[in-house]
Amino acid sequence: MLPALIAIFRREMLLALRRRSDAMTSLFFFVVVVSLFPLGIGPEPDVLRRIGPGVLWVAALLSTLLGLHRLFADDYADGTLEQLALSPTPFSWLVSGKILAHWTVTGLPLVLLAPLLGLQFDLDGRALGLLAFSLLLGTPLLSLIGAIGAALTLGLRGGGALLALLVLPLYVPTLIFGTGAVAAQAAGLDYSSHLALLGAMLALASFLSPLATTSAVRIALE
């Protein structure tokens, strides 16, 4: 099963390289949204430090959501998804490969870029490191949850808007604990509980999300 997972991941990465504009659009959106807040609010260091983690997290959340509707849509349209469902390899493994590729293309660049953009909000080194680590735990969770929504809206007209309505409320706990970790660190409080909850949610979603996504895709294919 592992070679099949690697093969589907490699396929998705090759397709992403051919559609570089999609990944660049999400990344450009992230940079622009984050950069607009210091310009609009003004150069008050205390205010910028207070809102910085929340701005970066919300921008990362919305950037992940941008291309989520295409996670299964192209393969559904050309029949590839049905062939994958008929494969002898467990379909949940193949779905996991697609989710992993989605995070690698959309989530990982945000994690790497966030500390650099965080300098605009006068965040210190510890806050930037903690912010990047919280995003490293949280962005895969966003992809896992989003995959369920993408599968549930597969083949529906206006699925993009419905996907946002389904997924955004489910993103709220991730947003709260991700920003809460940095806020607790800034206040001199213990932030390990926020990271532990993010890690627990990621572990649970890593097991349940591929199964739920697989079931939703099979329903869409029937």
pLDDT of 158 reads: 66
What is the reported pLDDT for 87? 82
Look up residue 1 and give its two tokens.
Answer: 């099963």
Cα 64 to Cα 142: distance, rounded to the nearest angstrom: 7
Opening angle at CA 72, ends 204 and 85, nearest 5: 80
The per-residue pLDDT for range 96-143, each reduced to its tens digit, is 999 999 999 999 999 999 999 999 998 888 999 999 999 999 999 999
Domains of the chain by residue range: 2-221
Task: State how far the alpha carbon of 95 is from the alpha carbons of 70, 84, 156, in Å.
Answer: 14, 9, 20
If you search the block for the tokens 């809102």, which residue do you land on? 51
Q: What is the pLDDT of residue 73?
A: 84
- Decide if pLDDT at 222 tops 80: no
CB atoms within 10 A of CB 117: 23
| pLDDT per residue as tens digits for the range 56-67 | 999 999 999 888
> Does pTM surpass 0.85?
yes
List the one residue out of 160, 57, 141 whose CA is nearest residue 99.
Answer: 141
Mean pLDDT, the chain, integer: 89
Which range of 21-30, 106-115, 157-166 scores highest in mean pLDDT? It is: 106-115
Per-position DSSP letters for the chain, written without gaps between them: -HHHHHHHHHHHHHHHHHTHHHHHHHHHHHHHHHHHHHHHH-S-HHHHHHHHHHHHHHHHHHHHHHTTTHHHHHHHHHTHHHHHHTSSS-HHHHHHHHHHHHIIIIIHHHHHHHHHHHGGGT--HHHHHHHHHHHHHHHHHHHHHHHHHHHHTTT-TTHHHHHHHHHHHHHHHHHHHHHHHHHHHHTT---HHHHHHHHHHHHHHHHHHHHHHHHHHHHHH-
How do residues 164-203 score in pLDDT, each as one tens digit? 888 999 999 999 999 999 999 988 889 999 999 999 999 9
pLDDT of residue 140: 95
140 and 202 Cβ atoms separated by less than 8 Å: yes
